[in-house]
Every structure is written in structure tokens, then in C-alpha cells.
Structure 1
Amino acid sequence: MRTPFDILSDYERRSLAHAVQLPARELGQETWRGVGYRIGRQRLVSQFGEVVEIMPMPPVTPVPGAQPWLLGIGNLRGNLFPVVDLKLFLEGERTVLHEGQRVLVMRQQGGDVALTIDELYGQRSFGEEQAIDPEPLARGRYASFVERAFHSEGLDWAVFSLSRLARTPEFRQAAA
């Protein structure tokens, strides 16, 4: 008489015999993955670990006395969080809000923050051979947040550090 353990062991042995192997990964070939989006004319990517959620623009309640780039307070499943016009913060130009507007939600000390973006491109992957000099993409206010860049399919992508943004004193002090 076979025990339940013997039956499960037999199932495992048979299933492993029919398992399809994943393609072997070449040693030394690292892939960087993140979320791609656009602010103004700048194509940016941020690490998956820095983006908590991507969601439609929530209704926003303005906050009197706040910086112009702080659009107000939004509500996500009962949690209140600031909604920031990232383009206004970085470039001094207001984001044109539209139907279907998306925001990236990032985590910072004290709670989540929603950042408006102009366009969402979704997942992007880059190999180390696609790395380029980030300096041409790290101009103006972007210089504080861009350390890496990649070139893929004819387009340059700056790696934008949301965690560095969250630690910036100016960003943390939204009172006017």
C-alpha cells in the first residue's frame, strides 16, 4: 500500500520529467528592468522596486499654502497621499491633465506619493551593452536624479531615481 507521501513523490518525479527548461542565461549578461514613462520630452525609467503602483489620476483636494507643484491630496482605498505635478517640479511647466491620466505611486518616509507623468510606456528592459553616458540626459533639475542611461531602439532612456527624489529636502517641504 502506497502512502500519500509516496503518491506525491511519484507525481513530482513525473512532472519534473516533463518540465520545460528555461533558456540558459549567459554568465555576465545583466539585465536592468524598470517602468518606462515620459515627463515633457524626457524618456525616463525607474526601478520596479521604487514604483508601488500605477493608477489613474485620483480626484484631488487642493491644499492651501502649498507649493504650486503639489496639486493636492488624493485618496486611494482610504489612504490619503499627496499628488505632485512632477513636470512642474522638475521643469517649471505644468502637466496638461487629460482623461486617462496616470500617476506613479512611490513610497517615501511617512507614506506614499503620487507623481503625474505625461505618458506611460510600461516595462522596459536593458542590457549592460545598451548603457550610455547619462550626462546629456541629466540636464537641469534632472542632474540630481539621473546617474545611468540606456539607448534602445533608437531612443535614449534616463534612469530616474524616485528614492533620491523622495529624500530631496525641497521635495519633502511642500509648504510655500
Structure 2
Amino acid sequence: MRTPFDILAEYERRSLQHAVVLPAQEAAPDQWRGVGYRVGQRRLASNFAEVVEIVALPPMTPVPGAQPWLLGIGNLRGNLFPVVDLKQFLEGERTVLHEGQRVLVMRQAGGDVALTIDELYGQRSFLHSQRTEPGSLAEGRYANFIDSAFHSDEHDWGVFSLSLLARTPEFRQAAG
């Protein structure tokens, strides 16, 4: 007499005989992939490995005495993290917050940090043949975080290193 387990095992065996094996979808070796976004007038992209998630701007509680670019402490699914105005940190000019505002959540030692951005472009893929010099994208404080760029769709995209940002002493010391 066959047990229910034997019957299920037989179903699985028969279904696997007809399974279609899809080719592995790996990024081309000459391709760079990341998340595209805009801060001020600059189009930037950060490696997927550096972005934990992209979410709507969470409700925030202000932090008295903090740097002006620290907007407050946000709460996402019970996790507390600082929310930083990236444009104000880099350019000294506050981001105009709007309904539907998105933030990039990045990981750093000690916990996640949310960064405001002006506009989200989503996934971006670039071929190494599209690599170009960062030029004006890496002027001012951006020079500390952008060392390469890509040219695509009539625009230059600076590769912005979130891991370098997370290690910057000034960024880590948001207390006023």
C-alpha cells in the first residue's frame, strides 16, 4: 500500500521529467549594474550591492542639535535609522521633499541609513565601453565619492560610492 508521501514523491518525479531548464541569467562580464537616481543636477548610480532597498520617505522624528542635513530618525518596519538629506550633505542645499519622495537605504556599520534623492530612475546597466571620465560630475564634495562615470542615453552617470560615504568621518558624526 502506497503512503501519501509515496504518491507525492511520484508526482514530483513525473513533473520534474517535464521541467524546462532555463539558462542561467548572469550579467554580462563587461556590464556594470546599479540603481540610477538624481541628486540636484547630477545623475548618479550606485552599485546594487550598496543599496539595501528603496522605500517611501518614512515618518521622522527630529533630532535636536544634529547637523542640518540629518532630517531625523525614521522608522521602517520597527527598525530605527537616521534619514539624511544627501543633497544638503553634499551641496549645502536642502532637498525639496514631496509626496511620493523616495529614499535609498544603505547599510553601514552600526545600522542602516536612509538617503533622500531628488528622483529615482531605477535599475541601470552600462557596458564598460560606455565608461567615461566623471568630469563635472565629480566636482566639489562629489569628488570624494565619484571616481568613474558612464555615458548612456545622452547623459553622463556618475558612479557614486555609498560605501565611501558611510566611511566619511563627517557623515558618521551627525551630532551638532
Instruction: Please report the TM-score for the alignment, with normalisation by the length of structure 1.
Output: 0.88
Q: Secondary structure at the match of 1:32?
A: strand
**Are the structure 2 counterparts of residues 46 and 23 from structure 1 closer, same or farther at C-alpha, using a change threshold of 3 Å?**
closer
Q: Which runs of 5+ in 2 are unaligned?
A: 1-5
**Are the structure 2 counterparts of residues 93 and 23 from structure 1 closer, same or farther at C-alpha, using a change threshold of 3 Å?**
closer
Partner residue in 2 for 1:15: 19
Q: Could you tell me how far apart the structure 2 residues matched to 1:157 and 1:24 are?
A: 23
**Are the structure 2 counterparts of residues 103 and 15 from structure 1 closer, same or farther at C-alpha, using a change threshold of 3 Å?**
same
Partner residue in 2 for 1:82: 82
**Are the structure 2 counterparts of residues 76 and 127 from structure 1 closer, same or farther at C-alpha, using a change threshold of 3 Å?**
same
Q: Could you tell me how far apart the structure 1 residues matched to 2:101 and 2:174 are?
A: 22
Matches for 1:10-159 after TM superposition, within 5 Å: 11-16=15-20, 19=21, 21=23, 29-159=29-159
Q: Could you tell me how far apart the structure 1 residues matched to 2:122 and 2:152 are?
A: 14
Q: Secondary structure at the match of 2:19?
A: helix
| Alignment-mate amino acid for residue 128 of structure 1 | H
**Are the structure 2 counterparts of residues 57 and 20 from structure 1 closer, same or farther at C-alpha, using a change threshold of 3 Å?**
closer
Partner residue in 1 for 2:3: none
| Alignment-mate amino acid for residue 31 of structure 2 | T
Which 10-residue stretch deviates more, 116-125 or 29-38? Answer: 29-38
Deviation at 1:63, TM superposition (A): 0.5
**Are the structure 2 counterparts of residues 35 and 9 from structure 1 closer, same or farther at C-alpha, using a change threshold of 3 Å?**
same
**Sequence identity, in percent?**
67
| Alignment-mate amino acid for residue 19 of structure 2 | S
Q: Could you tell me how far apart the structure 2 residues matched to 1:36 and 1:102 are?
A: 12
Q: 1:114-157 deviations in whole A, cap 9, x for unaligned?
A: 00000000000000010001233210000000011000011100
The total of aligned residue pairs comes to: 170
